[in-house]
Structures are given as structure tokens and as C-alpha cells.
Amino acid sequence: MLIGVVIPCYNETNRLPTEVFIEFMCQHPEWLFCFVNDGSKDATSDVLHRIKEALPQQVLLIDRRQNKGKGESVREGMLLLATQPVKYVGFLDADLATPLHEMQALVQLAENSQYIFVCTSRIKQIGSGIHRLAGRHIIGRFFATLIS
């Protein structure tokens, strides 16, 4: 069983925990990561190429020169993963604000249930912080309320 994960990246040179990804992939050969460089202006492309060189069987790489946004990066990564023999697909932020073990928990939930789709949302817990611009927070709350 392969598990595919899209990692959209934009200017992530200083935030991408390369060693965490490599260590996880070494321990979990059933995981396939699709990194999508979204036209980064820093050395993100070089970092992603080093990860791919370290574990070429577990890394797909889309390296775009033009920035198209996170949504388009996730879409392109999902389309590429759809060409692979994966059973589950998902995406995570490049800085691993949601740790890889949480993705493992979602896969286990799906494996042990009849769910065909699982998703998560970050919530603020005591002692933790989610830092957003005020405008982004207001827009997010507006759409969440509208959807509800």
C-alpha cells in the first residue's frame, strides 16, 4: 500500500525540515511524497532536489518557475500522485505545522473504518498558537460561518 502526500512549497528554504522528511521516509518506505515548488525565489528548488536525490523512489518533484498559488500546487501534485499506485492521498504544509505522525493517524482511521474521505482542521488549543493576519482570520471566519 502506498500513501501519497503532496507538499506545496513556496520560499521554504529556511522552514523545510529536510531531515525530518528523510528520516520519516527511511522508516516508512510505503509513503510517496510529491513536493511541488511553486516558483520559489529562494533556494527551495535546491533543497527539494537534495531530498529527491537522497530517496528517489519515494520523492516526486514538480519544480515550477512561475508561482501559481497553493491550491494549484496541491491540484498538480494530486494529479501526479493519481498516476501512481497509491491507495491514499493527502497534503501537508512544508513546515510540518501538522506533523507526519498525524497523517499516519488519518491513514489508520481510514484503514479501520468505512470512511472514504477524512480531513482535519487546525483549532486553537490551550498553550498553542495559530498566528494569522487579522484580515485573513476575519475572511476565514466569514466563509466558515457561511458554509455552516
Say what the pLDDT of residue 74 is. 95
One-letter amino acid at 97 equals A
Neighbours of 106 (CB within 10 A): 17
Say what the pLDDT of residue 145 is. 83
Distance (Å, rounded) from C-alpha 120 to C-alpha 78?
A: 17
Say what the pLDDT of residue 132 is. 61
**Per residue in 106-133, pLDDT tens?**
888 888 888 777 777 766 666 656 566 7
Spatial strand order in the sheet of 86-91? 59-64, 31-38, 2-9, 86-91
Query: Cβ-count burial of 67 within 10 angstroms (0-12 exposed, 13-18 middle, 19+ buried)?
Result: middle
21-42: average pLDDT: 96
Where along the chain do its domains lie? Answer: 2-147
Which superfamily does CATH assign the domain made up of 2-147 to? Spore Coat Polysaccharide Biosynthesis Protein SpsA; Chain A (3.90.550.10)
Say what the pLDDT of residue 123 is. 66
